């Protein structure tokens, strides 16, 4: 049975596209059962439509007035994910901090991709932070989601050189190429049952023979 994925995305959705492509090219034995966005105009939702995948906009304002709006919003998302029998949640350019409501329900079953070699440069604008720090190598990281922003056991990383004269755009584009390669690979490892979290670390198990 293909692994059932749920994707949370806020914007362009190029990482989502990389996952869709891997599935369509039969490199990844998975199916995306739902794509949820907190932005009504997210390109990710257009991609969903183009590929016949169910997409849903959940308005963050719908929970204003709740005692804990962030948790109330995540509760709504959780209900959607459960209704679509999601087994693994992928944050793909999802620009909202997820709360314990989702993290506990999907412990070690929710991944994020970030455009730096974590734990360096978490949060917003990882590529700008790398340029500001003058590092010569940056990259991207896929990790399991925990409550700290861009923390959590690292699954895979790819290194990307920083060139003299790089702009945020040129560095981001070079990193993005690696993101698109890395994220489907991490999902494939999960689908194959090859990821095991031990303490703060993710162990990659040998393939079953």
Binding-site positions read 13-15, 70, 95-98, 112
Binding residues for (6R)-10-formyltetrahydrofolate: 70, 95-98, 112
Q: How far is the CB of 97 from ligand GAR (least distance, A)?
A: 9
β-strand pairing of 201-204 with 195-198 = antiparallel
Q: Are 19 and 28 in contact (CB under 8 A)?
A: yes
Q: Which is nearer to ligand GAR, 83 or 142 (CB)?
A: 142
Is 114 in the active site?
A: yes
Q: Are 69 and 46 in contact (CB under 8 A)?
A: no
Q: Is the dihedral of CA 146, 147, 152, 156 positive or negative?
A: positive
Q: Which is nearer to ligand GAR, 154 or 176 (CB)?
A: 176
Q: Are 91 and 77 in contact (CB under 8 A)?
A: no
The label of the residue with tokens 């599935």 reads 23
Contacts with 107 (C-beta within 8 Å, 6 or more apart), sequence order: none
Q: How far is the CB of 66 from ligand GAR (least distance, A)?
A: 25
The label of the residue with tokens 């993101």 reads 179
Q: Which is nearer to ligand GAR, 94 or 190 (CB)?
A: 94
CA distance 108 to 195: 9
Q: How far is the CB of 170 from ligand GAR (least distance, A)?
A: 14
Nearest residue to the partner ligand GAR, using Cβ:
93
Contacts with 75 (C-beta within 8 Å, 6 or more apart), sequence order: 101
Choosing from 84, 114, 143, 180, the catalytic residue is: 114
Chain residues that interact with ligand GAR, rule: CB under 6 A: 9, 11-15, 92-93, 113-115, 126, 150, 176, 179
Q: Which is nearer to ligand GAR, 66 or 95 (CB)?
A: 95
Q: How far is the CB of 81 from ligand GAR (least distance, A)?
A: 19
For residue 155, the tally of other CB atoms under 10 A from its CB is: 24
For residue 73, the tally of other CB atoms under 10 A from its CB is: 24
Which sequence positions are flagged as catalytic?
114
């Amino acid at each position: 049975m293909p692994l059932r994925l749920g994707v949370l995305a806020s914007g362009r959705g190029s990482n989502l596209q990389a996952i869709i492509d891997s599935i369509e090219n039969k490199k990844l034995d998975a199916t995306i059962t739902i794509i949820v966005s907190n932005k009504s105009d997210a390109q990710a939702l257009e991609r969903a439509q183009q590929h016949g995948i169910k997409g849903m906009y959940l308005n963050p304002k719908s929970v204003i007035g709740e005692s804990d709006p962030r948790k109330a919003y995540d509760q709504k998302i959780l209900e959607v994910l459960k209704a679509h029998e999601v087994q693994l949640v992928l944050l793909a350019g999802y620009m909202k901090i997820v709360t314990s409501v989702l993290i506990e329900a999907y412990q070690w079953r929710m991944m994020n991709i970030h455009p730096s070699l974590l734990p360096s440069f978490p949060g917003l604008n990882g590529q700008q932070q790398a340029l500001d720090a003058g590092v010569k190598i940056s990259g991207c990281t896929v990790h399991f989601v925990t409550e700290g922003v861009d923390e959590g056991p690292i699954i895979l990383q790819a290194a990307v050189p920083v060139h003299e004269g790089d702009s945020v755009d040129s560095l981001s584009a070079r990193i993005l190429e690696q993101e698109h390669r890395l994220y489907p690979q991490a999902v494939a490892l999960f689908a194959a049952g090859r990821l095991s979290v031990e303490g703060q670390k993710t162990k990659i198990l040998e393939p079953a023979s």
